[in-house]
Structure 1
């Protein structure tokens, strides 16, 4: 998916200061991104002046989301932007961007890896998910499964299918909100924000729900104001 033409997205030419104000990125940072190739150059109007447009604003907002929300390094941001610019499909660009958000997983033994991979394969087959060998996200899930088992919480693993069902519902929400967006930059930005801040939002809502469930299970006759 390529960017729409400038006319389609109502481009207004702007100077550096206006680009900074529109995107919320300081001028010095904009200049740095230009030097590093994270932002394409503007249209030169003189040796020391250039004009920018809405595509530059969108690119800066994406970089900002990847840096400030996703916590990615500049090198990782560069890889994501390369995917955005070079991918023939939105699917591929999203895959690279969202995988980049995953932390670097710990190494596990071959035996543990085989056990967790087999469990993950069964879950993936049931939900129609595609696994990618040595993918960072896959290795993170394998690491987490091994940690859960090492801690002796087999009851959690036994309900993994239910967690997977919830994950599928959340994914539909996460990506459903991106379908009407006009550019690949906006789609990736929305997916990154939805994944990172959506995780935090869900964690907070989950905590509210846990408090209510704890009161129901462990505090018969408790009042709405009782905490767990």
Structure 2
């Protein structure tokens, strides 16, 4: 397909596609003339991922390039490529190391992981962005005086484990390993607002059940 068709099918303007090409976020098409190139379904798939990262997930261009580079690193196995790509996604601010609450939060998080039996060193090591983000969140809860002991966090972790199964079940609907990797990254970004929305809706339902008119506590 030519650039105009790629734009129509992807919903991305030709100017934006040209920008993504210049930034290395989209591989070049097959040159057919001095001024025109042809693109295929792989370009369309990649554009969907780039849109998910940049337009929906608000991932900076540099970070998006890191994610895509990780996905294309064939020296890594399937699991490592996915892990490296997800590491490159933005993970929020880091906790201040000189704060006693940070050290206490790290001990809490480590105890939680031991209880769950989550022993993936790559995912849970001190260099893991997700691990550091969790330490930051637990430290903030502690400083503000909100519940954040292992018993408080464990139900959330177990729910996250169930969500991970659903995540990878979705990913495995795609046939090729490359499609699975791209889908895993895109769905990580696209499903986070879905999860936040559903949690708030579920809270409203549970609040109504407990405290609304007709409830036993009303």
Same fold (TM over 0.5): yes
TM-score by length of 1: 0.81
Q: Equivalent of 1:42, from 20, 29, 33?
A: 29
* CA deviation after TM superposition for structure 1 residue 121, in Å: 1.6
* CA deviation after TM superposition for structure 1 residue 185, in Å: 4.9
CA distance in 2, matches of 1:216, 1:45: 64
| Two-structure CA RMSD over aligned residues (Å) | 2.4
Q: Equivalent of 1:190, from 162, 183, 198?
A: 183
* CA deviation after TM superposition for structure 1 residue 81, in Å: 0.8
- What are structure 1's unaligned runs of at least 5 residues? 1-13
Mapped pair 1:102 → 2:95: no
Instruction: Map 1:50-199 onto structure 2 (within 5 A).
Output: 50-87=37-74, 88-99=76-87, 100-109=89-98, 111-125=100-114, 126-130=116-120, 131-154=124-147, 158-199=151-192
CA distance in 2, matches of 1:31, 1:208: 40
Higher normalized contact order (CA 8 Å, seq sep 6+, divided by chain length): 1
* CA deviation after TM superposition for structure 1 residue 174, in Å: 1.2
| Deviations 1:109-143, CA, capped at 9 Å, x for gaps | 35333322222122223232421223221111101
Q: Is the 8 A contact 1:66 1:189 kept in 2?
A: no
* CA deviation after TM superposition for structure 1 residue 107, in Å: 2.2
CA distance in 1, matches of 2:24, 2:170: 29
Paired residue total:
211
Partner SS state of residue 102, structure 1: coil
* CA deviation after TM superposition for structure 1 residue 84, in Å: 0.9
TM-score by length of 2: 0.85
CA distance in 2, matches of 1:158, 1:111: 21
Please identify, of 130-139 and 177-186, the stretch whose mean Cα deviation from structure 2 is larger: 177-186
